A and B are shown apart, each in its own frame.
Chain A
Amino acid sequence: MARRAGAPEVSAGSMADIAFLLLIFFLVTTTIETDAGLDRMLPPMEPPTEEPPIIKQKNIFTVNINRNGQLLVEDEILSINDLRAKAIEFLDNGGAPSGSPDYCSYCKGKRNPESSDNPTKAIISLKNDRETKYSTYITVQNELVGAYNDLRNREAKRLYGTDYVAMEAEYLNPETTDDKKEELKEKVTRIQGLFPQKLSEAETSTE
């Protein structure tokens, strides 16, 4: 039972304990979930000298939200539940007569000459009160974005046989390979071109 020569071995028995301690610390602080939300672009500050472009009244779809969360759509009171259908009807109308440069070949709407000429001309104008609740605003935004997505899905199904939303999600996913991205980019921009998201937000009314 003589002692071995050289330095004694360091006991590694407590290594596991130390590692466990660290492990538990990181387990507790970890948040793996990613945030999700509605993406929007704000309009740039317009230069004061520039004349605002003239837009035909029939190409504008006005949505007003008052402080009680009620909607005034095209000067009529509307329930939020019907907003999406109404927005789709407006965007998909394609009112320009066939033969004119604005004629919309892929629209399936009523072709009412009193409503929007072409989806690329159609603008949704959203206005809200300072007292409007944020949750109502998000619901309205959600429905309007939903209207665009529904129409884009329809066109993507017709042209490529897939969902636009799924295609875009794959395009934005950082794990998608570059080749695939290139291919998707073309499709996504084509669909976006058919139904460009023109959602203008007026400055908030103060009273």
Chain B
Amino acid sequence: MSKFAKKKDGEVPAVSTASLPDIVFMLLFFFMTVTVMKDSSLKVENVLPNASEVKKLEKKDRVIYIYVGKPTKEYEKTFGTEPKIQLNDKFSSPSEVGDYILMERAKKPQELQNVLTTALKVDKNANMGIISDIKQELRKVNALKVNYTTYEGDAFNNLQ
């Protein structure tokens, strides 16, 4: 009994930090659940144009991304300065787009395969030629729903 009665010194007890891990874990789980890992590092310049009539791309699992733009500084030597297509982590030619879409589509669950959107993240300085090639390829594999990803803003800012 005397074992328990001993703790009476009269000093102010230190603030207990025992619940600190709990609080931190709570925050940790919050961020773990909302995190979307960046799946590929960008090898192209990607400054998107502005548009005002935008719709949000909900449900990330239904989106296939295609990046287009000028290769960044470190790849300029090998790939030149003309706008290129980036699929996943590598530069590709327009003819590879169709295969890529089919491959990505096969990876998705069956019920989502018909509702996929292709998000085109295109640098604003790219030319329409490469976009037209991509669009043709998308039509060939019947991936007709596209989203030209933009920043929200005044579209006339693009013209300067």
Number of chain A residues whose Cβ lies closer than 8 Å to a Cβ of chain B: 55
Residues in A with CB closer than 8 Å to B150 are 36-38, 138, 142
In the complex, what residues of B have CB within 8 A of residue A16's CB?
Answer: 17, 20-21, 24
B interface residues, tally (CB under 8 Å): 61
Q: Does A145 interact with chain B (Cβ within 8 Å)?
A: yes
B84 to chain A, nearest CB (A): 14
A163 at interface, CB cutoff 8 A = no
Nearest-CB residue, chain B, relative to A204? B132
Is there a chain A Cβ closer than 8 Å to B129's Cβ?
yes
B86 located at the interface, meaning its Cβ lies under 8 Å from any Cβ of chain A in the complex: no
B56:A36 contact, CB within 8 angstroms:
yes
Are B149 and A35 in contact (CB-based, < 8 A)? yes
Identify whether the interface residues of B are mostly helix, strand, loop, or mixed.
Answer: mixed
Instruction: Chain A residues near B31: list those with CB within 8 A.
Output: 23, 26-27, 30
Binary per-residue interface labels of chain B (131-143) against chain A in the complex, 1 for a CB within 8 Å, 0 otherwise: 1100110111011
In the complex, the answer to whether A146 meets B20 with C-beta atoms within 8 Å is no
* Cα-based distance from A174 to B117 in the complex (angstroms): 16
Beyond A138-B49, A138-B150, whether A204 also contacts B59 by CB under 8 A is no
Instruction: Check: A203 CB closer than 8 A to any chain B CB.
Output: yes
Cβ contact within 8 Å between B58 and A174 = yes
Cβ-based interface call for A7 (8 A): no
Q: How far is the CB of B83 from chain A (nearest CB, A)?
A: 9
For window 162-207 of A, CB contacts with B under 8 Å fall at: 165, 168-169, 172-174, 201, 203-204
Contact: A133 with B27, CB < 8 Å?
Answer: no
Say yes or no for A29: interface residue by CB 8 A criterion. Answer: yes
Asked whether any CB of chain B lies closer than 8 Å to the CB of A134, the reply is yes
Verify if B146 is at the interface (C-beta below 8 Å from A).
Answer: yes
- Closest B residue to A20 by beta carbon equals B24
A120 lies within 8 A of chain B by Cβ: no
Instruction: Assess the B32–A26 pair: CB atoms within 8 A.
Output: yes
B74-82, B88-96, B105-113, B152-160: which lies at the interface: B152-160
Residues on the A chain within 8 Å of B18, using CB: 12
Known pairs A34-B58, A45-B140. 9 more at Cβ < 8 A?
Answer: A34-B57, A37-B51, A37-B147, A38-B51, A38-B148, A42-B144, A131-B127, A142-B51, A172-B56
- Bound complex: CA of A5 vs CA of B118, how far in Å? 65
Q: Are B159 and A138 in contact (CB under 8 A)?
A: no
**17 A-B pairs with C-beta separation under 8 A:** A23-B27, A26-B32, A26-B35, A29-B37, A37-B148, A40-B148, A42-B138, A42-B144, A45-B139, A131-B129, A133-B126, A135-B124, A138-B124, A138-B158, A172-B56, A173-B58, A174-B58
